[in-house]
Chains A and B, each alone.
Chain A
Amino acid sequence: MMQRLTRALVGATALTALSLTPALAETPEAVLDTYADIALAGYQDSLITAQALDAAIDALIANPSEATLNAARSAWIAARVPYQQTEVYRFGNAIVDDWEGRVNAWPLDEGLIDYVDGSYGVESDENALYTVNVIANASLVVNGETIDTSAITPMLLSDTLHEAEEVEANVATGYHAIEFLLWGQDLNGTSAGAGSRPATDFDTANCTGGNCDRRAEYLKASSELLLTDLEEMVANWEDGGDAREALTADATEGLAIILTGMGSLSYGELAGERMKLGLLLHDPEEEHDCFADNTHNSHYFNALGIRNVYTGHYRRIDGTVVTGPGIDTLVAAADISVDSELKDALETTIAAMSVMKARAESIEAYDQMIGEGNDAGNAVVQAAIDALIAQTRPIERAVATLELDAIAFEGSDSLDNPDAVFQ
């Protein structure tokens, strides 16, 4: 109760600051509604494109050919466009973060799922399931227990295999498991080329790679699971859904979530773990969409998603626009210079990401760009990293401008509050 009260007081302070400015300022509630509406549209689009992917997978399994395989790959790449724009919701929205590991976990030990190249190694120390190859084995041992894997079902993947033995690299579900099944390993290192699985890997009449029926079964099960998971997240953002309710329970805290989510994805997750680490090690194993060589899009649409939530503007896959008052209106009302600085920084990032995306589509793939000795490629990736880092400074200023610091970065300090922090 006191927690709420404290936050309400901080919120009141923020509102007081806002009320000193001209009357055009939107209310925090309206801003949160826009943010939640964009989340709903983004997850709906993710679901729609995942349904198209599922249909393409059905066609591939019914009639395996280069054409149906390529159609499924195209559907996967299209499905990543809206999904990557939703990732900014992961940070701050605990419901999303809790769920995300099932859908977008990465990197994965592909040897858990299917055959791998001999150079992958067979040592079982790191991960007892490192080369267990579910597709080739009708039973396997997890944590010393024999598991019947004769039928590959969504439940087997989600409840038994995913993060089996607590190893996070045991990714059995989600976009990247499907990606691996559609492309296969990328054995080209930091040279040109993505994974090149043949369509006959799914052809029971003319099977390559062995166990084509089980490979198809795995692919279909993982696709069905993705649909179930996305349906769950769509429901979370509908009116009365858990994520929307949690966000809007406290307007001030909700505003802090928007900005800290933007900053956390920009600086830590994207610039850090997904980009800088790979560049530091020049290691394509650290590439995000590594089988499909789709990493440039994955990063680009992450950056777009950050801008979407700031400006309250999202272009859906059908071209229609979901828009409403963004948190930019509150920042602008409080301090127009902070707003324009932040907008400029977001545009600079989009521009740097566009250069990286264009290079990937014309000159060399992302895994080549991070290769050792590729100074020009390294510089393009570094420029995107630098822009992401640069945009967190005005995000921090926006947090301060809206007087959200106490909630975003510290606990509150009321002595009677069990959540309080001694300071």
Chain B
Amino acid sequence: MRFILFAWSLFFSASIFACDICGGVSSNASIGLFASTKFHTIGYKSTMRSFTSYLYGIRHSQEYLFTQELQFRTQLHPRIQLIGSLPFQNAVQLRDLGRDAVYGIGDANLLGNFVLYQNRDSLGMSKNFLSVGLGVKFPLGKNVPSSNVLKNLYPGTGSWDYLLLANYTKQFSSKWGWQTEASYSLKGTDKYNFRYGNTAQIASQGFTNRGVGSYRLIIATGLTFEHHQTSRANGAIDSSITNAGYILSAKASVNLLTYRWLWSFNVQHPMKQNVNSSTIFQNLSAGLSLNYLIKKSKNEKVTL
């Protein structure tokens, strides 16, 4: 029965991570469920997002964005984490009469996360965890002027972007917890004098942590709300390219923690959205990641 309920919740809720509306228009960061752990990690993440676009109220195209990411996290100090990633993106637009594909390295990002408060119980399990992060996204990815109709498929914003992030994780018991994360992405201006709108995101999810033999299974489900401000070209609103609007999504993830590896699968599905006056709709997204855990000491416990 529990399995059926879980399968049902995955099928009907679904959801992602820190979401971008289109190609390079990233990104609200997320340090995710494992924020309060102290492992160094290196890993790989693969994500798929899709959108449906409308023109004059008629379906015009379907966009698919596949991102492969190399990522790492290191604990520089008991209160300082450094998190980074380098994405590679493949984007495809399918229309009635043709298709276009854009691919390339995206914008690398680096985020410092500072632990403001953390208390643990006698077993070493984190009870409360509060952190703030400051990050930067480097304009390494391909980017084109706003006159290019495929601009939103390109993997770079072409600008230096800055990230602010706050994370609070509350563990009620050894099996249940709650996490809330808020982030804000401040977009810069590219060399064509185009600036994507700033984005804000707030996500909240409950999670349960269960033992499966010698492994840990962490299942989470919750909601994400993201808001995209208007994009501007030469200081004026560019209605043809902007992604202004909001998306409210349900999300879920399943994470399996073994002695050295962390496997994660997550899905996200919009429940309510209005982007660019309802001319763009985000569809179901999914991601799979695998991280290698480099433990600081042999005695370190796997706790959230």
Chain B binds chain A:
no
What residues make up the interface of B, taking CB atoms closer than 8 Å to A? none
